[in-house]
């Protein structure tokens, strides 16, 4: 059994955008050939046919035969015969308008959102059109939107260089760094500042809750032309061939790690699984394995197995009877 880790968030968002664009495109081009439409939309014919199949079950609430988008096929040509009202101006109920206002307010508060001004303009228009919603008592708080995250976001928006004190748990060390911020991000409910790190001479991600102190410098942030933002569509951690590869034998109770961590290989080995994954360093891997419990055995590398064994022995030694302390049971002394 081999199961590489995959995440479908980006693919789902791309498909939603295609579907929203597909109906008005086909309405304007009745009887268009599927091959031509696929070329115009930048997808394969196979993908377009799959999107058209999905449209069959899209439409208005009620979702009965008269509510769903309908199409007619003539050989390799397609025509939208019922658009489920997608060509009519959108009219929101008060509940729908309030939900949209909340969503837009959350988007405005999300670090790293492009075209924030456009979102604010759309929010103002909806609140104005909805009347009573302009002053709706709705407070939006994002997970991870701490005072530190808000301080960082303000500094990033002002375009200033920052001096930070940063804790790196993988190495259990605190360092002083001067960074030139590129953007703020919210990933997995945590806020990050992505910046050019002058110490590392590379683009780095810094978690807001691991920044112990921050000082906004008077100088402007200057990002070198070679600096490029990370592609975070698959999450913050990006396994690569230059990172250490570890292999663990896990029991049934610890199989959950294959759902939470990107694994290169997952193979059945009787009642147990052999799991291979990349880690930032062996220090992090040692703490990770020790926290998993007795159903996990390190298969490779040998260095990690020895580190885990040594720390486990040291922990057990801490519970041993100190040298020179008599055992009451051995001397017959009772309390």
Strand partners, 53: none
**Among the listed residues 69, 142, 70, the one whose alpha carbon sits nearest the alpha carbon of residue 106:** 142
Average pLDDT over residues 187-208: 85
Q: Rounded to whole angstroms, what are the CA distances from 117 to 42, 121, 124, 128, 297?
A: 29, 6, 10, 16, 53
Please give the pLDDT value at position 131.
59
**Among the listed residues 153, 180, 186, 143, the one whose alpha carbon sits nearest the alpha carbon of residue 164:** 180
- Exposure string for 40-62, b = 16+ CB within 10 A, e = fewer: ebebeeeebeebbeebeeebeee
Q: Which residue has the higher pLDDT, 321 or 215?
A: 215
CATH topology of domain 14-82: Arc Repressor Mutant, subunit A (1.10.10)
CATH class of 147-220: mainly beta
Q: What is the rounded distance in angstroms from the CA atom of residue 309 to the CA atom of residue 313?
A: 6
**Which ranges in the chain are annotated with CATH 2.30.30?**
147-220
Average pLDDT over residues 223-237: 73
Element (H, E) at 39: helix 34-41
Express the helix, strand and coil content of the chain in percent, nearest 5 each: 35, 25, 35
Average pLDDT over residues 283-300: 87
Longest pairwise C-alpha distance within the chain: 99
Please give the pLDDT value at position 5.
41
* Alpha-carbon torsion, ordered 216, 221, 226, 230, to 10 deg: 50
Task: Say if strands 70-74 and 77-82 run parallel, antiparallel, or are unpaired.
Answer: antiparallel
272 and 283 in contact (C-beta within 8 Å)? Answer: no
Enumerate residues 6+ apart whose C-beta is below 8 A from 166: 174, 175, 176, 177, 206, 210, 211, 212
**Which ranges in the chain are annotated with CATH 1.10.10.10?**
14-82
The string of pLDDT tens digits covering residues 141-172 is 555 456 788 788 888 888 889 999 998 876 67
Q: What is the rounded distance in angstroms from the CA atom of residue 278 to the CA atom of residue 280?
A: 7
- Whether 23 has a pLDDT exceeding 60, the answer reads yes
Q: Which residue has the higher pLDDT, 119 or 220?
A: 220
Mean pLDDT of the chain: 78
Element (H, E) at 284: helix 282-290
Per-residue pLDDT band at 249 (split at 50, 70, 90): very high
**Among the listed residues 240, 227, 269, the one whose alpha carbon sits nearest the alpha carbon of residue 252:** 269
Q: What is the rounded distance in angstroms from the CA atom of residue 96 to the CA atom of residue 63?
A: 18
Per-residue pLDDT band at 122 (split at 50, 70, 90): confident
Enumerate residues 6+ apart whose C-beta is below 8 A from 310: none
Q: Rounded to whole angstroms, what are the CA distances from 102 to 22, 121, 135, 147, 183?
A: 27, 14, 12, 21, 23
90: which DSSP letter?
P
Tokens of 171: 């190495």
């Amino acid at each position: 059994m081999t199961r590489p880790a995959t995440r479908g968030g980006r693919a789902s968002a791309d498909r939603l955008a295609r579907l929203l664009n597909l109906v008005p495109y086909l309405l304007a081009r009745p009887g268009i050939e599927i091959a031509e439409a696929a070329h115009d939309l930048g997808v394969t014919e196979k993908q377009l046919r799959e999107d058209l199949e999905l449209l069959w079950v899209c439409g208005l609430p009620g979702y009965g035969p008269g509510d769903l988008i309908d199409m007619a096929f003539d050989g390799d040509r397609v025509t939208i015969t019922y658009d489920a009202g997608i060509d009519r101006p959108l009219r929101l109920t008060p509940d729908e308008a309030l939900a949209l206002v909340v969503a837009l307010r959350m988007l405005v508060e999300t670090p790293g959102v492009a075209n924030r001004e456009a979102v604010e303009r759309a929010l103002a228009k909806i609140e104005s059109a909805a009347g009573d919603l302009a002053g709706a008592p709705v407070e939006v708080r994002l997970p991870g939107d701490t005072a530190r995250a808000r301080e960082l976001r303000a500094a990033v928006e002002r375009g200033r260089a920052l001096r930070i004190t940063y804790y790196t748990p993988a190495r259990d060390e605190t360092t002083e760094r001067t960074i030139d911020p590129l953007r703020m991000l919210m990933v997995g409910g945590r806020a990050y500042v992505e910046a050019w790190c002058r110490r590392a001479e590379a683009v780095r991600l810094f978690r807001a809750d691991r920044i112990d102190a921050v000082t906004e410098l008077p100088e402007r942030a200057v990002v070198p032309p070679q600096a490029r933002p990370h592609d975070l569509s698959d999450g913050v951690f990006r396994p690569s061939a230059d990172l250490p590869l570890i292999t663990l034998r896990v029991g049934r109770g610890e199989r959950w790690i294959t759902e939470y961590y990107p694994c290169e290989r997952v193979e059945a080995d009787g009642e147990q699984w052999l799991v291979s994954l990349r880690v930032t360093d062996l220090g992090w891997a040692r703490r990770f394995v020790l926290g998993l419990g007795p159903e996990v055995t390190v298969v490779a590398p040998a260095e990690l197995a020895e580190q885990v064994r040594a720390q486990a022995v040291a922990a057990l030694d801490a519970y041993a009877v100190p040298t020179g302390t008599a055992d009451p049971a051995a001397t017959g002394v009772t309390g």
